[in-house]
Amino acid sequence: MISKKMQEAINAQINAEMWSAYLYLSMSMDAADKGFAGSAHWFARQFSEEQEHAEKLAKYLQSQSAKVLLAPIAAVKTQWASVKEMFAETLEHEQKVTAMIHELCKLAQTESDFATANMLQWFVNEQVEEEETARGILGAFEMVEGEKAGTYLLDQKLGAR
């Protein structure tokens, strides 16, 4: 049985994952508006992935006979100066999400909640991948900054996701 405190913390994480999805959808729309179809596609895939993360957490709560409580999603930013800025913000955001997952892990450990700790290990591994990917894409945009052909090719590559 999952504790009320853990249930509340996972529900908060579900909301955070949905907010992340909303953020990436907003980035997708802005990238498309700026003519970066590949980046828009990448962010749209990220939007879907974040929704899947929320659903995974919700299904876990339900498997523990715990109530999923969906909360309102706060507004997100809608415009960025550049696609590079979007990926810089993506990296910062994913680092914050990693810290949130680590807090959930600490709570599971404190409560000796081995089932939740085991489930959260998937999210720990996912966050390593999320940060590495964002860091790599940001680095690539920094490398080609000011080069239209390089930026175009990078955007095309992101569209292949």
What CATH number should be reported for the domain holding residue 48? 1.20.1260.10
**Cα–Cα dist 32/26, whole Å:** 10
pLDDT of residue 161: 85
The Cα–Cα gap between 41 and 47 comes to 10
Residue numbers of the domain that contains 91: 4-158
- What are 75-90's pLDDT values in tens digits? 999 999 999 999 999 9
When pLDDT is averaged across residues 97-106 and rounded to a whole number, the result is: 98
Q: Which residues of 24-42 are buried (b: 16+ CB within 10 A; e: fewer)?
A: bbbbbbbbeebebebbbbb
Q: Which of 85, 81, 99, 78 is nearest to 26 (CA)?
A: 78
Question: How many folded domains does the chain comprise?
Answer: 1
Mean pLDDT, the chain, rounded, equals 97
Asked if 44 and 91 count as a contact pair (C-beta separation under 8 A), the reply is: no
Q: How confident is the model at residue 1 (pLDDT cuts 50, 70, 90)?
A: confident
